[in-house]
Structure 1
């Protein structure tokens, strides 16, 4: 799941204002940020290497350390420690743990296959990106819509006023994520756009993913904080 994880950060900030939105956005994507890191360390290599060849259904990665169930226990503890130390709040530490755990739960239903600890161990996910890609995207879309509805409804109860333009901007960030995944669900950009084989050095898959995550994080951190209180 991509966009759906960010919605959990918006709700966390709404319910626990002592934490910062940027922090919640980052911690909600902790496992994916670890995946990017472990990829470059050579522990979780991701294929295909060329972004123009990549689709959700053909992307292959064994997320042994970042996403599997056994390491999750360590990341939960780490999230608690980071939240508690940064904000001097046990509550924020617990919320951080919850965001990391919810990330795993959402990936279970809409994401790559995860395991207990490695490909040869018990499966801990449905693996819908590979087996039923469009169903995985549909699940993420429904979750994102429901979470955003809950978020905006909670703001209205608190007297928070947003312009229509601001709401559209926030929703557009999530819509972009869903549309992007739908476009490359089973067909690559090379197939869709008849792009010839070439290598300019920057069309590799992982930098493209990192840019997408960073852009969504930046836009949400900017637009979500643009509001007035009645």
Structure 2
């Protein structure tokens, strides 16, 4: 998943508004940030190296430390521990740790190949970006809508209904941000750009 992870940050937000929302956003993307660092340093090699040549189906990634199941659980424990040390709220820290684990679980359904521990351990993901990338992107879109509408529901129940403008903005950002990747599932960005700029 890409933007779908950001949508998960909305799930606990209504109950923890006394804390900064950006912490939930970071928690929901800890594995992604770690992967970017490891990819840039050559630890988790990604090919092709240029985004212009990449497709979801053609991207080869090794995410041993950032996205495999057991490393993901360790990231959740560390991040949840840091949040608890800073904010001294068990519920907030548990939700932050859970969002890290939820990132990994979501990527097992919508993402690349992931194993339990290292590259030689059993595969636990569907590797949907390789086998059915368009369907994977559509599933991410639907998942994001579920998260958004759950947030609308919890806000309404707590007496703070989301305004129509905010609702339209949230739905639009996630709809455009996710569905725009459909062509890139199988067509490199440079080929898509060649249609626009001959």
Determine the structure 1 residue equivalent to 2:160.
160
Asked if the contact 1:4–1:141 (Cα under 8 Å) also holds between the matched residues in 2, the reply is yes
Asked if the contact 2:55–2:188 (Cα under 8 Å) also holds between the matched residues in 1, the reply is yes
C-alpha separation between the residues in 2 aligned to 1:2 and 1:132?
16
The equivalences for 1:83-94 within 5 A come to 83-94=83-94
The equivalences for 1:106-125 within 5 A come to 106-125=106-125
* TM-score, normalised by the number of residues in structure 1: 0.79
Is 1:135–2:135 an aligned residue pair?
yes
Moved over 6 A (4+): none
Deviation string for 1:12-44 (max 9, x for gaps)?
211222331111001100000000011122211
Deviation string for 1:135-192 (max 9, x for gaps)?
2112111111111111111112222244322222222221122122212111112222
* TM-score, normalised by the number of residues in structure 2: 0.91
RMSD: 1.6
C-alpha separation between the residues in 2 aligned to 1:41 and 1:190?
25
Deviation string for 1:23-68 (max 9, x for gaps)?
1001100000000011122211222122211111111111011011
The equivalences for 1:175-194 within 5 A come to 175-194=175-194
SS at structure 2 position matched to 1:167: helix
Determine the structure 2 residue equivalent to 1:101.
101
How far residue 132 of structure 1 moved from its aligned partner, in angstroms, is 0.8
The answer to which of 85-94 and 105-114 deviates more is 85-94
Determine the structure 1 residue equivalent to 2:11.
11
Determine the structure 1 residue equivalent to 2:25.
25
